[in-house]
Amino acid sequence: MDAHTPARVAVHGTGASTLREAVVKAGASVVEHDPDAVVVAGEESFFALSDDPPSAPVVPVTDEETPLTVARDRVVTALSGPLVRYTHPVLDARVGGESVGRALAEVTLMTSESARISEFTIGGDGRHVGGFRADGVVVATPLGSVGYARAAGGPVVTPGTGLAVVPVGQFATHRGAWVLTPPVDCAVERDEVPVSLVLDGTVATEIGVDSPVHIVSADRFDFLIPAGGVESF
């Protein structure tokens, strides 16, 4: 981690004109090439980074602030002061040795019909970690751990500590969750209904008992946030 105050900033995503004004108010220059940082706003633009991470660190902007993002109405304040640089993983979901797609926030296995459960197993570092009956399971990066995974009862993980692996709607009295370092393996042991593989909210494919999902950290990108964000974990 190191303090960083960008002087040359590129802007991408929704509300770009307003964000450019915020960059100028913060005392930085808006540029198209060779930026010190890239301000990215909007879910679609942000998740697109998984396929093409920029060389410059990203300042992620969301409507509501989280420990790892900056709220739209606080962009000026954030860019005016020193930001802290962290490295974040890009996950690659592989089925049968082939990449199905990438994710920045979460890889989810979910029954395709509501209120229907399947049986799942989790593995890490070549060992069996756990098994459970549930609606699904979410494997979340630090960024994703403050969203759906947290709502499902999982832990919030700080950058560099691993991935939150959380059953969704687990059919059990004592519910579990894990923090694992990639690679992580998720498998369907019994599927009474179809199970979908979902990457950052988009269905990539359906999987069955013969299609375990191997999740690896295939890439990374750096992002910049106010130091107080991570301190709030």
The per-residue pLDDT for range 164-198, each reduced to its tens digit, is 999 998 886 566 789 999 999 999 998 778 899 99
What is the per-residue pLDDT across 133-143, written as a single tens digit (0 to 9) for each?
999 999 999 99
pTM to 2 decimal places: 0.89
Task: Name the band, by pLDDT with cuts 50, 70 and 90, for residue 20.
Answer: very high
Quote the CA–CA distance of 8 and 84 in Å, as a whole number. 16
Residues in the chain: 233
Helix (H) or strand (E) holding 149: helix 148-151
Mean pLDDT value of segment 43-64? 88
Name the fold adopted by 3-89+221-231: Rossmann fold (3.40.50)
The CATH class given to the 90-219 domain equals: mainly beta
Residues of the chain within CATH 3.40.50.10330 domain(s) are: 3-89+221-231
pLDDT at residue 2 is higher than 60: no
Q: What is the pLDDT of residues 206-229, one digit of tens each?
A: 998 889 999 999 988 898 988 765
Helix intervals (H) in 26-109: 43-47, 75-80
pLDDT at 230: 54
CATH 2.60.200.30 residue spans of the chain: 90-219
Task: Please tell me the predicted confidence (pLDDT) of residue 174.
Answer: 65
Ranked by mean pLDDT, the top range of 3-7, 32-36, 157-161 is 32-36
Lowest-pLDDT range, 36-40, 104-108, 145-149? 145-149
